[in-house]
Amino acid sequence: MGNKFIRAISAEEIAPGGMKTVELAGREIVICNCSGTYYAIQRRCGHMNAPLELGTLDGKYVTCGMHCAQFDITTGQALSGPVPTDLGNERLPPRVAAMMHKVAMQMQHVRTEGIRTYETKVEAGWVLVGQ
Amino acid sequence: MKTESRKEALQYFFAKVVGPMNFKFTPDVELKNFLLEQEVILEAKHGISFCPCQPIRHDRARDMQIVCPCIPFHREHFDAIKRCWCGLFVHIDVIDPNSLPQLPPKDVGLG
C-alpha cells in the first residue's frame, strides 16, 4: 500500500547533524539530518517525554538532553536508559530528601521505550514525511 | 533493549574517544565482543558502562575512573603496557594483543 507523504521542511533548513521540530497532521516530529540523509522521529523521548531536539544527534544516535537516554534514529530502537544523576556528597534538607526518595521509588518503574520513526524522502529540496 | 544494537552504539562512541588518544579496539574480535557485551549488561544494571574487569565500589569519585573508556584516568599505565586493563583497547600500533604482558603499575615504574 502506498504511503502518503506530507511536505515537512526545506532540506536546507537543517545542517548535517542538526534536528528540527515540525508539527504534521497533529503529530510532533523531529527531522534529523544524518550526513545528508533525513530521518523523522517522534519528538518525545521514550523515557520521560522530553523533547528530543533539545538533545544531541551524533551519527544515527540521538541522546535525550534530559536524562541521556539514547535512541537509534534509523530504527527508533531504545539503546540505553537514563544515566543516573549524582548529588555528590551534598546533604539535602530532610523534606527534599524524602521527596527525592519518593520520586526515585516511582522512577525505578519507568521504562525506556523505543520511539516511533517515519518514512522520509527528499523531493525538489523538500523533506517529505510519510504518514 | 537489544544487546547487539547497544554494542554497535558503544563502539561508535568509544572509537571517537580513544582514537585521538592513539588507542584502538583490540583486533581480537571475540574478546572485543565479549567485553562490549559485559559493558552492556553493566549499563543495563547500573546505568553506566563500567569497565567489566574492575569492581564497582559505590564510591562515586573512584567509580567514575572505571567508566569505559577509562584511558584518560590511567593513561600513564596504559601507555606503558600498550593496552587497557581489560584489553578492550590497545595502542594504535599493536597487532598482536596476546603478546602484551599485563604488568602492574609498580613494574612499569609507576606508583
Nearest CA in chain A to B60: A88
Cα dihedral sign, A24-A27-A33-A37: negative
Distance in angstroms (rounded) separating the CA atoms of residues B109 and B80: 9
pTM: 0.89
A5-86+112-130 CATH fold:
Rieske Iron-sulfur Protein (2.102.10)
Residues of chain B with C-beta less than 8 angstroms from the C-beta of A84: 46-48
Q: What is the mean pLDDT of chain B?
A: 94
| Cβ atoms of A39 and A117 closer than 8 Å | yes
Interface of B with A (CB under 8 A): 1-2, 5-6, 9, 12-13, 43-44, 46-48, 60
Interface of A with B (CB under 8 A): 58-59, 61, 70, 72, 75, 77-84, 86, 88, 112
Domains of chain B: residue spans and CATH:
3-94 (3.90.460.10)
Q: Which stretches of chain A score pLDDT less than 50? A: none
Q: What is the pLDDT of residues B68-95, one digit of tens each?
A: 999 999 999 999 999 999 999 999 999 9
Buried b (16+ CB within 10 A) or exposed e, B19-46: eebebebbebeebbeebbbbbbebbeee
Mean pLDDT of the region B11-21: 97
| Cβ atoms of A127 and A8 closer than 8 Å | yes
Distance in angstroms (rounded) separating the CA atoms of residues A53 and B67: 27
Three-state DSSP class for residue A58: strand
Please tell me the predicted confidence (pLDDT) of residue B110.
84
